[in-house]
Amino acid sequence: MDRAGQYEDLRAEIESVVAGETYIPARYASAASLLWQAFSPRFFWTGFYVVDPLKPSELVVGPYQGTLGCLRIPFGKGVCGAAAQSQETLIVPDVHAFPGHIACDSRTNSEIVVPVFDAAGQLAAILDVDSEQPDAFDEIDRLGLEAICRRLLTA
Ligand code: SME
């Protein structure tokens, strides 16, 4: 199966696993697990930074698969913080060339980050996928991950 088809299957699987679940971290944890299982080792760190309800201009680490992640990322800092500010997907082929990149693990060479919105259209989290491979992510990843994130909190 091609990668677009893999993403479509994963989207359906994640939706059926989380359908009706009211505890939001369970949704994030299930998506992180299934994504990492499907695409590891290309997906090295795979998880969510959630908007802190007590400090709405800061992200705090949520469920993930991988090595220890930084706990907090202010909006505007690093790749996740930039995506939280712009509320748009970012593909970074070389993180070492990204101004202000936060290196939680020096093995990361490229990444993709995708915003997750709640049912009211408010930014709830950032999906962060980091890879040891340079230039690991393309438009297929963008479309596949955006489709998963679009339904993650509303399925
Ligand atoms: N890649 C992120 C930092 C988080 S970790 O690497 C897990 C960033 O630059 O925003």
- pLDDT of 116 reads 98
pLDDT tens digits for 104-153?
888 999 999 999 999 999 999 999 999 999 999 999 999 999 999 999 99
φ and ψ of 139, to 5 deg: -65, -30
Mean pLDDT of 15-21: 97
pLDDT for residue 67 is more than 90: yes
Confidence of residue 21 (pLDDT cuts 50, 70, 90): very high
- pLDDT of 155 reads 85
Full-model pTM: 0.96
CB 118, CB 138: distance < 8 Å:
no
Q: Which residue has the higher pLDDT, 31 or 105?
A: 31
Which residue out of 85, 89, 104 has the highest number of ligand 1 atoms within 8 Å of its CB and is therefore the one to mutate?
Answer: 104
Average of per-residue pLDDT values in the chain? 96
Mean pLDDT of 72-80: 96
- How far apart (Å, rounded) are the C-alpha atoms in residues 27 and 19? 9
Amino acid present at 71: L
- pLDDT of 54 reads 96
Using a pLDDT cut of 70, give the percent of the chain over it: 100
Alpha helices (runs of H) in 19-155, residue ranges in sequence order: 24-39, 78-86, 139-152
Mean pLDDT of 49-74: 97
- How far apart (Å, rounded) are the C-alpha atoms in residues 62 and 23? 13
- How far apart (Å, rounded) are the C-alpha atoms in residues 10 and 141? 12
Start-to-end CA span in the chain (Å): 25
Alpha helices (runs of H) in the chain, residue ranges in sequence order: 3-18, 24-39, 78-86, 139-152
Which residue out of 102, 129, 132, 137 has the highest number of ligand 1 atoms within 8 Å of its CB and is therefore the one to mutate?
Answer: 102
- How far apart (Å, rounded) are the C-alpha atoms in residues 8 and 140? 11
60 CB within 6 A, ligand 1:
no
pLDDT for residue 35 is more than 90: yes
